[in-house]
Amino acid sequence: LAKTTQPISMDSYEGQEVNITCSHNNIATNDYITWYQQFPSQGPRFIIQGYKTKVTNEVASLFIPADRKSSTLSLPRVSLSDTAVYYCLVGVFNTGFQKLVFGTGTRLLVSP
């Protein structure tokens, strides 16, 4: 599984766009990039997944450059309810794979 590196924490204000970048220099050809969101006292929730270029859904956008060694999760116009921990995962989980690692994530704090 490719190792991922993301900032420990980020601060923002309501209405701003937030970009969280994840580095994954050792990403393999078959690896997908997946982001999760976790609120306090809840399980993680899938946000978005991509392989290359740009993916957008109703919650966020995911930008992946051509070399795929990094990815950026973009949250448009954040609100207080976006305060959470965001995890970047890289890899394909198969039957022989035992180490699906979420890492410590990025703690996003949105203030009024």
Partner 1 sequence: NAGVTQTPKFRVLKTGQSMTLLCAQDMNHEYMYWYRQDPGMGLRLIHYSVGEGTTAKGEVPDGYNVSRLKKQNFLLGLESAAPSQTSVYFCASSQTETKNIQYFGAGTRLSVL
| CA–CA separation, 23 and 79 (whole Å) | 25
State the nearest-atom distance from the C-beta of 53 to partner 1, in Å. 18
Please, which residue, 42 or 81, has the CB nearer to partner 1? 42
Please, which residue, 18 or 90, has the CB nearer to partner 1? 90
Query: Structure tokens of 23?
Result: 């580095």
In the numeric block, the tokens 């393999």 are attached to 28
State the nearest-atom distance from the C-beta of 56 to partner 1, in Å. 16
Give the interface with partner 1 as residue ranges (CB under 8 A).
32, 34, 41-46, 49, 87, 89, 91-95, 98-105
State the nearest-atom distance from the C-beta of 87 to partner 1, in Å. 7
108 phi, psi to nearest 5 deg: -100, 125
Q: Is residue 42 classed exposed, middle or buried when 0-12, 13-18 and 19+ CB atoms within 10 A define those classes?
A: exposed
